[in-house]
Amino acid sequence: MPTSPSSVLFHLAFPVADIPTTKQFYVEGLGCMPGRETPNSLILNLYGHQLVAHRTPDLTPQRGIYPRHFGLVFLDEAAWVALLHRAKAKVLKFYQAEKLRFPNSPLEHRTFFLEDPFYNLLEFKYYCSASAIFGEAGLALVGDSEG
């Protein structure tokens, strides 16, 4: 990779139905910092990464967590737990409650999914072994078996 991870930020644009509801979920709920705003878009700071909500009338739920979801991989378990507790305290909608995936394996990780008011799914996880984030390719396991 030509640049170090600390020299870049992740950017993701995603669909929403309205900006006030977006602010309620992402700013008041998740704790994102709001940035520039228009009647049709809102820039959000999610743990130092740029999310941009764009208003659109075409919103439909998907079945299951695949193929589309986004989120964060926490490097610190306490930070993951803190967000989990915040999501519960703010009564955010859980699409999947917290659970342990691939227990007793190098891919073991804690995860939970939230669903925003516009059917966007967000996954937050913490790997017990940092090597599982990009490594452990020989295990050839990704996600759940659901389609």
pLDDT tens digits for 63-81? 889 888 999 999 999 999 9
**Strand 109-115 with 41-46, pairing:** unpaired
If you search the block for the tokens 């509801």, which residue do you land on? 21
List pLDDT tens digits, range 5-54: 677 889 999 999 999 999 999 999 999 999 999 999 999 999 999 999 99
- Helix (H/G/I), strand (E/B), else coil: 82: helix
- Three-state DSSP state, 116: coil
pTM exceeds cut of 0.85: yes
Say what the alpha-carbon torsion angle 18, 60, 87, 76 is, to the nearest 10 degrees. -110
